[in-house]
Amino acid sequence: MNEGTDLATPPRRRIGALAVIREESGAVLLVKPRYKKGWNLPGGGAHADEMPHVACAREVLEETGLEIDALHILALDYVPANPREGAAEGYNFVYDGGVLATGTPVTLQQKELSAYAWVPLDELPAHTEAQQERRIRASLAQVGTGETANLVQGHPVADEDTQPA
């Protein structure tokens, strides 16, 4: 155990739970939050004492009306703190949200989200920030492999890496 860690007052970290949901065409479902720029995978933050896969399914249902089984983790993406935006460091668990039939209805939560789109992979750069695009592509590379990508801001972590760059 690291003697520098006080288990009574551990560091503040956020846990995100996101889903990669695909359409039969291969397009990925993205949502556009009202509270920040760009497009993101559906999902959100886990509540205290909530397992990430439960948070993912809950958030996707709340945001899109879609019921998914978020059981296979495609990627675990570490995100350092961003003091400029007031965000604590955190981890994003990215789950396989499955493949939906073309035309499956999405019921958008209007309070937090302004739009949704099925985005073909070649159009990701026009919709997402680079970190988000890397996260999506790294996650998709894990579909069907049974493996989980270990990422830092969407970049794969090599075995010899011990700290983010």
> CA nearest 81: which of 11, 145, 129?
11
26 inside domain? yes
Pairing of strands 28-33, 113-119: antiparallel
8 inside domain? no
Domain of 148, in residue numbers: 14-156
Query: Span 62-88, mean pLDDT?
Result: 91
Query: Span 26-30, mean pLDDT?
Result: 96
Backbone angles phi, psi at 50, to 5 degrees: -110, 130
Write the CATH number for 84: 3.90.79.10
Distance of alpha carbon 35 from alpha carbon 40, whole angstroms:
12
Q: With pLDDT > 70 as the criterion, what percentage of the chain qualifies?
A: 89
145 inside domain? yes
92 inside domain? yes
User: pLDDT tens digits, residue range 94-135?
Assistant: 999 999 998 888 999 999 999 999 999 999 999 999 999 999
Total structural domains in the chain? 1
User: With a threshold of 0.75, does the pTM exceed it?
Assistant: yes
What is the DSSP secondary structure assignment for residue 36, as one 8-state letter? S
